[in-house]
C-alpha cells in the first residue's frame, strides 16, 4: 500500500453504540471521520411489478422517510446477501426468492466510511412473518416509485440510486 | 410540530471543524446523530456531451474516488445554486452557463442530517480559471460515465444518483 493510504495519526473522539468518530492527521490536514459498520439495502419487486418500500421516522433529519428496506451490518460474520434477505423479511414480511447484487456504494466518502451493498430481489409474502412495529410497509407500482424519485418525493439517496439502477435490470 | 419531532434531550459528544455529533434521547431509544453543514453537487455537461468529473483522495475510505464536483456549504448565506457554480469553477475551471436543480437528497438519514442539493449544468471553459491542486479533472462522454455507474466503477452515491437523474433530463 502506498504511504498515503494511512493517516499519520488518529485519535478517537467518540465511541458510541453505532458510530465511532476519529480525527485523523493527513499530510493535507485533519479529517473528521465517522466510522460506520455499513449496511445492506434491497429493491424488492413483487411478481405484480410492485416495489416494497418502508416508511419510518428518521430522527437525524426529524422526518418520516420513504426508503427501500435496509439494515446495518450488526451480526458478526453475516454476509451482505443474507443481511438483505433478513432485513426484507423483518421489515416487510416478504421472502426474497431471487437476489442479485446491484452495487456497492459509499454514502458520503467525504466524511464517513459507510458503505451500502445494494441488492435487487424478487419478493413474495412469507406466511410466518410478523414485521417490525416501527416501520410501515408501503407497496406501490415500481413506475410510481420512479416518478417519486424524479419529482422529489423520494429523497433518500440509497433509495433513489437503488430504484434507478433497478430500472435498467428489470 | 408534533411532539415526536424533537428529542427529549440531546448531549453534544464532539464538535469539530466540519462535524458535530450528538447523542439524542428519543422515546424509541438513543440516536447517535452526525450534524453536517450540507453540500452542493453538480452534474456538469459540456456542449460536446461530455461530463466533468473529479478524482480525489477520500481519506475516510482510503481511496481515490471519481465524483461529480461538489462542495460543502461553508460560506454563510450562500445559496445552493451559487455554491454549485462556485465549486464547478474552482474544481474544474468551467463556468456554469445554465443551471437546473435536480434534487435534494439525504445521504444517510439513519445517522446524519447531511443533505446535498444536486444540480445539472451546462459548462464551458473559463479563461481565468486556475483549478484546485488536490483534485484531478476527468472529462468523459456522459454515456461512458453511465456505464461506469452500472458496472460498479463509480461507487460514490451522490454521483450515481446525479448521473442517473441527469440522464432523464438530457
Taking an 8 Å cut-off on Cβ atoms, the answer to whether A152 and B23 are in contact is no
**By three-state DSSP, how is residue B38 classified?**
coil
Tell me the pLDDT tens digit for each residue of A8-35: 999 999 999 999 999 999 999 999 999 9
CB < 8 Å to B31, chain A: 59-60
- Whether residues B16 and A17 touch (CB distance < 8 A) is answered with no
Q: Smallest Cα–Cα separation from A124: which of A143, A97, A101?
A: A97
Per-residue pLDDT at B76: 84
Q: Is A52 exposed, middle or buried (0-12, 13-18, 19+ CB in 10 A)?
A: buried
Q: How far apart are CA B48 and CA B45, in angstroms?
A: 8
- Chain B hits for A65, CB-CB cut-off 8 Å, are 106, 109
| Contact state of B105 with A6 under an 8 Å Cβ cutoff | no
**CB distance B19–A111 less than 8 Å?**
yes
Place of cell 468518530: A21
Please report residues of A whose CB lies closer than 8 A to that of B115. Answer: 61, 155
Please say if the pLDDT value at position A170 is more than 50.
yes
The shortest CB-CB distance from B103 to any of A57, A134, A152 is to: A152
Is the pLDDT score of A145 beyond 80?
A: yes
Q: What is the pLDDT of residue B62?
A: 97
Q: Are B50 and B142 in contact (CB under 8 A)?
A: yes
The rounded distance, in Å, linking the Cα atoms of A107 and B67 is: 12
- The tens digit of pLDDT for each residue in B26-85 reads 999 999 999 999 999 999 999 999 999 999 999 999 999 999 999 999 888 899 999 999
Q: Does B130 have pLDDT greater than 70? A: no
B13 vs A contacts (CB less than 8 Å): 14, 16
Beta strands per DSSP E along chain A: 9-15, 20-26, 29-35, 39-45, 50-58, 63-67, 70-72, 94-106, 115-125, 136-141
Are the Cβ atoms of A60 and B158 closer than 8 angstroms? no
Q: Is the pLDDT reported for residue A102 higher than 60? A: yes
What distance in Å separates the CA atoms of residue A152 and residue B105, rounded to the nearest whole number?
A: 9
Contact check, Cβ <8 Å, B30/A17: yes
Q: Is A60 within 8 Å of B34 when comparing Cβ atoms?
A: yes
Sorting pLDDT into bands at 50, 70 and 90, what band is B3? very low
Cα A155 to Cα A69, A145, B50: the distances in Å are 15, 11, 27
Cell 502506498 found at: A2
Query: Which whole number is the average pLDDT over A83-104?
Result: 96
Q: pLDDT exceeding 70 applies to what percent of chain A?
A: 95
Contact list in A for residue B36 (CB cut-off 8 A) is 108, 111
CA distance B106 to A153: 12
Cα separation, B165 vs A71, whole angstroms: 25
Helix, strand, or coil (residue B27): coil
B111 → closest Cβ in A36, A149, A157? A36
Amino acid at each position: 500500500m502506498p504511504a498515503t493510504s494511512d493517516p499519520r495519526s488518529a485519535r478517537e473522539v467518540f465511541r458510541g453504540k453505532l458510530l465511532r468518530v476519529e480525527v485523523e492527521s493527513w499530510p493535507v490536514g485533519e479529517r473528521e471521520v465517522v466510522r460506520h459498520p455499513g449496511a445492506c439495502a434491497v429493491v424488492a419487486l413483487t411478481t405484480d411489478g410492485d416495489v416494497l418500500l418502508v416508511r419510518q421516522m428518521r430522527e437525524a433529519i426529524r422526518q418520516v422517510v420513504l426508503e427501500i428496506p435496509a439494515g446495518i451490518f450488526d451480526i458478526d460474520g453475516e454476509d451482505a446477501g443474507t443481511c438483505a434477505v433478513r432485513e426484507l423479511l423483518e421489515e416487510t414480511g416478504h421472502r426474497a426468492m431471487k437476489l442479485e447484487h446491484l452495487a456497492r456504494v459509499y454514502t458520503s466518502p467525504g466524511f464517513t466510511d459507510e458503505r451500502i451493498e445494494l441488492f435487487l430481489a424478487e419478493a413474495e409474502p412469507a406466511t410466518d412473518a410478523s414485521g417490525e412495529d416501527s416501520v410501515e410497509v408501503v407497496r406501490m407500482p415500481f413506475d410510481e416509485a420512479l416518478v417519486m424519485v424524479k419529482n422529489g418525493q423520494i429523497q433518500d439517496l440509497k433509495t433513489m440510486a437503488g430504484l434507478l439502477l433497478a430500472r435498467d435490470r428489470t
